[in-house]
Structure 1
């Protein structure tokens, strides 16, 4: 493997079609497509300031690096990436990619990141700001996520998340086959129009959660007092620990809780309108 150390590049495509190359303490200055159409690339303690540095790259490692704001849209149309201990201040990262492994990464402008990617494995990721992370992506495994980005995981499929703290709005809309363990989900309108969404040992806050959901499952979950009008037009099986403020017009299934503030079943409920709602002591709940 060739090694380049302690230098800088700028301009258009300075390392185009490089293969079997290791960069150490290299700065990519203003310009475009520095490392394009490349394979077997290692970047260690490098700084990326120019646009689009890693496009059409096959097999690469990025470790202890920094992406400046100017390094936007840095990782597109590439595959088999391992990234560790890296800070990213640029938006629109990770697009149309396959097989991504990430550990100890902070993204300070998570706008439109991880779009249309397949095979994402994450350990300890921080997402700040921006909108629509993980949209249209598939086959995602996450262990350790802190995010305040808006509209996370929309239209995602086959996702497993553990140990997350997500503060957002309209998260997990239109998702399919998603399981979330041991996490805190804060924000309005969680999980609308989802299919096979399963929440285990999670705490949920925010208005109107989990409406229009199909085959929703909650196991040992808790709700904040602001969670009103929950489960409207949803089919579900829910085991709720503690109290839930208000349940509105669930379509079918079962809901069990320690305490229920109120239940709204009105003329707008959808057939079959046979959801069984009861308290944990066995009593049916009647508003």
Structure 2
């Protein structure tokens, strides 16, 4: 493998169509498409400033690198990529990719990041700021995620999440086949219009969670004190530990909690309107 060390590149496509190359302590300055239409690329201790630095790259390993705020839309259409111990300060990263894995990565501008990824693996990843990360993703595995970005995991499917803390609103909308284990989910309108959403050992907060959901399952979950009007129009099987402030108009299934402050069943309930609601006390 050819090695390029301690170099600075700028302008338009300075490293176009390189293959089987290691970049070590390389700086891609302001310009566009620094590494494009390439394959088998290794990046170590590199600094990326310009736009679109890694597009159409097939097979890459990126470690201990920094992506400056100007490196917007940096990595698109690049398959079979592993990134580790990196910091990203640019928006709109990772689009239309297959087989992407990140470990120990911090994304400080998560705006419109991780769109259309098939085969995404995250381990100890932090997301800050921005909106709509993880749109239209599929085949996702997460172990260790901290995120305060808004509207996470919408229109995505086939996802397994463990050990996450997600502070957001409108998360997990229109998802299919998602399981979340041992996590904290904070924010309004969680899981609306979801299909096959399963929450195991999770703590939930925010107004009106888990409404309009189909085939919703909760196992050994807890609710914040102000978490109210849950499960409206949902088909649900829920095992809730502790207290839940209120349940409103679930469509069908079974809800069991230690205690429930208010059960709202009014004229707007939808058929079959036969959900069993029980308390253990």
Match of 1:68 in 2: 68
Which residue of structure 1 lines up, in the alignment, with residue 89 of structure 2? Answer: 89
2:114: which partner in 1?
114
Query: Gaps (5+ residues) in structure 2?
Result: none
Query: Hey, what's the Cα distance between the residues in 2 that align with 1:245 and 1:135?
Result: 31
Structure 1 counterpart of 2:126: 126
Residue deviations 1:221-254 (CA, integer Å, cap 9, x gap): 0000111110000000000000000000000000
* Counterpart position of 2:229: 229
Q: Aligned partners of 1:101, 1:132: CA distance in 2, in Å?
A: 19
Structure 1 segment 107-256 matched on structure 2, within 5 A:
107-256=107-256
CA distance in structure 2 between the aligned counterparts of 1:226 and 1:106, rounded to whole angstroms:
31
- Separation (CA, whole Å) in 1 of partners of 2:62 and 2:69: 17
**Shift >4 Å, 4+ stretches:** none
Q: CA offsets per residue over residues 119-167 of structure 1, 9 Å max, x none?
A: 0011000000000000001000000000000000000100000000000
Q: TM-score, normalised by structure 2?
A: 1.00
Distance 1:77 1:183 in 2: 31
**Partners of 1:227 and 1:209 in 2: CA distance:** 7
- Residues paired across the two proteins, number: 281
Deviation at residue 169 of structure 1 after TM alignment: 0.5
Displacement of 1:280 = 1.9
Deviations 1:21-73 (A, max 9, x none): 00000000000001000000000000000000110000001100000001111
Q: Distance in 2 between matches of 1:119 and 1:35?
A: 23
Unaligned runs of 5+ in 1: 282-287
Q: How does 1:46-57 map to 2 (within 5 A)?
A: 46-57=46-57
Deviation at 1:9, TM superposition (A): 0.1
Give secondary structure in 1 for the equivalent of 2:241. strand
